[in-house]
Structure 1
């Protein structure tokens, strides 16, 4: 059995025995049959399943916590996790050349112990139903029966007979979450009953339509939660909305070695520096592993971790302080990092609806607190963070990857991506239909091997308006001129949902955008568009400038540095923004550098210059240009 290590799902693939696509009404009927058999209100069964998986079966493949099928029955005892997220590649998560790189030399040593009950619900479902575990994993109807049996068992243990009104099942739903603290269990149950009150209707990944009729006046009896015997999580120091279950699990600030320390820096944000970004990561490790790592003073850090199974949140740093998570010190100093339990390279190791909802509530709350715009130049993935120098570009991380559903996430944020201009606009917002848009990716299991088909929010970019044309090149990733690939971790020719770009040309069903200093084409047919028109502020080189440099950080000019603080080089990346090209800007910012190389925080200094920069959507990653080099065009 494994505790700190759960699943190596980076290589998980759908089972060969997984149930094939069924007639369009079979899934709805399976919910009705299971609800009747175990006397669980059908609305409760559908609501729980929606929060677990949005009714998707994922072809029988497991989630990051070993959950199977529409009911996300967990069976996590059979595999181990690989090296964690910040141990991958050559990226220095701190991203500051003023200090030695904070990289790991391998997989940390982790403890082993018994799995918690929340990670072996499939075993319990097998005991209750008599259905073999393999069927619960691979057969959709069996999986739903297993979930219904678990709910009915939870209801009986609360001293209540199955049956009756949905309002009587709040306690059983809270128990089903598997949470060990009251706040998480009640938040989960609140979300399920919110789904029931509002209703849902969607087509699943197997092509079946499932509906849950809204019960607008439903008021559940919440009193049973007090009898679940759950702990009270310590949230005294957390900064979270009341609608999110948070607890305080601090990251250490400790000295060690000869003048070294970890695993973050003390600061005084936003008084010292504004917080401009929220960075979305996935952990590439499981929950217990993640918590052990962030509590290691010799590792790195981030502000929040989010658990896949129920959306539970752990906060590790005061928001005033700077975490070491993004691989770019400028971004770290001005951002909050959210690590989501997950594995980007396995399309069916999915991000649960419970986690999406908790994350969206937390981000909306933080964005309001720090006045952060809810757009894709400020709510960014780790894969959108630029390299600091030409030498660091290739080592930057690629999570949360092309299977993170940005469209759904921003809908939950209350900022869905909608057209803000007509079809002939000067800019576009990338917005393919996530479920139907399934470009080919490779390398999920082995280099070069084709990944299982899966919805994606990313469009692929070509050198000409033809699907057979080569992909555009990224000279930062491949200085020797190598081609971009369809690899799941190759961001060289990729534009992702919510990102905005200036239009360079249109031909028939193809649209060209300015991207990394070149014209990049993507398929955008009117009948099935992958982008919509957008009004946006654009930057272009000032008159008389044939080209201007592009930067990975917005550092101040040399004259701004006080005595005792070494001047940090303002080094261009190996790209050029050419005359006539335009790029969408997310706004301007002063050049800033946070000098923090000692454990004694009293010696830390914010250097702020007169030079201003514009953040732009330059490629898949954002970048910066000097305000003195550009003029702004509003279209």
Structure 2
């Protein structure tokens, strides 16, 4: 998707809220004096403050924030579903968490959208209200598993399976822990109390009809709303278009199922493991690239164009296998003239997949190449470790890991699997604990490219 041309701008949100007597800068007559926004200087403190003020577990808030945004507010720019900030406070026909947060906190919409601390506070207020309505009180609030239905409600997903997809991801993140944007949580084993969602089949449960519906055997079938695409084609398929969702995987799937969205894509690819959901049959015209819709297949990739941590190796490889399959079946040349970014298609003003998408690596994979295995360089980044893929040190960032102030360097061979932030990759080196800290590890690389880093031999 790339930019915000498809969805209402913040002004539309302000108008919506103003219509509900919550205009920017004003308070409802019965509102208490709003708390001061926590600001963006210390996101970790913002999560602690919000958790304490609204009696919502901090791990839950961080898990939702990481699932929605990797803890990045994107300077107040909206998602594909008109959601804002670290916690994705939204304003669309099916999700009104932004106006709810404004009413509950007394904070203005622009502050909630653009101030990360206020955004976290607003989300905590909404979750608190949902928990009260669900009867979650007292010591039960300390049991993370009992928050499952509340998180599912917060997602405002299009249906039960999509709500479960969203909420399962939040609880997966809680289980693996988070280390990003100066915020960290330890891995916490939680048994979700799914309530009514226990009877909902997880998205991806294959049935004979769903298997028959997909064009790509590796995909899960989950149809977009018929209001968001056109049956049939007016042109033969000659191009494959690469998109970035500007939002989460579950959120994008839910948005494409929302009749008011008026957008869709044929496929959506998940960041952490490369799971693929097909939402529009290739024989039909998805609404993803304006003038190019009639002759193209659209593939959305979970994430944001300005945040390369979403572009994992698992995503690249899964997407490349899908693109190769489409190209081979449809006789499409596997080159940059026929596999293009959304921003390169005629009649579009979008920016995706953006400068962080590694086209050279992607096309190599599409055409059957394999770095076997790719090298990774671990370099210090603030209080953590940023992982970049070789051969170019400007290639996409795979993830950010918590790290110490003092740097420990341990050189190890590639090949051992490591799990970090919920992602396991067999091409990473193994991370070892050093006196309670995560090691800072460097793998063999040309010293000339990074002269201040010791060379592993």
TM-score, structure 2 as length reference: 0.53
SS of 1:201's partner is strand
- The offset of 1:71, in angstroms, is 1.2
Change (3 A) 1:356 1:198: same
Matching residue of 2:416: none
Change (3 A) 1:264 1:41: farther
1:167 aligns with 2:145: yes
Contact 1:52 1:70 in 2 (8 A): yes
Give the distance between the partners of 1:221 and 1:56, measured in 2 at CA: 29
TM-score, structure 1 as length reference: 0.40
Within 5 A, what are the aligned runs for 1:134-533?
134-161=110-137, 163-202=141-180, 204=181, 209-215=182-188, 217-225=189-197, 236=210, 238-239=213-214, 246-249=222-225, 251-253=229-231, 262-263=233-234, 265=236, 279-281=241-243, 292=262, 303-304=266-267, 315-317=279-281, 319=282, 336-339=297-300, 363=319, 366=322, 382-383=340-341, 399-403=351-355, 418-419=374-375, 429-432=391-394, 525-527=449-451
Contact 1:382 1:398 in 2 (8 A): no
- The offset of 1:33, in angstroms, is 1.7
Contact 1:253 1:264 in 2 (8 A): no
Change (3 A) 1:49 1:326: closer
Within 5 A, what are the aligned runs for 1:526-545?
526-527=450-451
1:56 aligns with 2:56: no
- The offset of 1:383, in angstroms, is 3.0
SS of 1:50's partner is helix
- The offset of 1:214, in angstroms, is 0.8
Q: What 5-or-longer segments of structure 2 have no aligned partner?
A: 11-36, 247-251, 329-333, 363-369, 378-389, 398-447
- The offset of 1:46, in angstroms, is 0.5
Larger-gyration structure (1/2): 1
Change (3 A) 1:244 1:293: closer
1:524-569 per-residue CA deviation (whole Å, 9 max, x = no partner) reads 842489xxxxxxxxxxxxxxxxxxxxxxxxxxxxxxxxxxxxxxxx
Give the distance between the partners of 2:38 and 2:51, measured in 1 at CA: 21
Q: What 5-or-longer segments of structure 1 have no aligned partner?
A: 10-17, 76-114, 255-261, 267-274, 295-301, 388-393, 422-427, 436-523, 530-635
1:7 aligns with 2:16: no
1:248-292 per-residue CA deviation (whole Å, 9 max, x = no partner) reads 5455456xxxxxxx34559xxxxxxxx9x9642258999679964
Matching residue of 1:46: 62
Matching residue of 2:85: 69
Change (3 A) 1:386 1:59: closer
SS of 2:299's partner is strand
SS of 2:99's partner is helix
Change (3 A) 1:341 1:399: farther
Aligned length: 331
Contact 2:64 2:170 in 1 (8 A): yes
Give the distance between the partners of 1:213 and 1:62, measured in 2 at CA: 30
Contact 1:201 1:210 in 2 (8 A): yes
| Greater strand share, structure number | 1
Contact 1:244 1:358 in 2 (8 A): no
Matching residue of 1:568: none
- The offset of 1:7, in angstroms, is 1.9
Give the distance between the partners of 1:74 and 1:7, measured in 2 at CA: 11
Give the distance between the partners of 1:48 and 1:416, measured in 2 at CA: 35
Change (3 A) 1:304 1:39: same
Give the distance between the partners of 1:325 and 1:38, measured in 2 at CA: 40
| Greater helix share, structure number | 2
- The offset of 1:190, in angstroms, is 0.8
- The offset of 1:212, in angstroms, is 1.6
SS of 1:338's partner is strand
Change (3 A) 1:20 1:400: same
- The offset of 1:323, in angstroms, is 7.7
Matching residue of 1:117: 94
SS of 1:160's partner is coil
1:131 aligns with 2:92: no
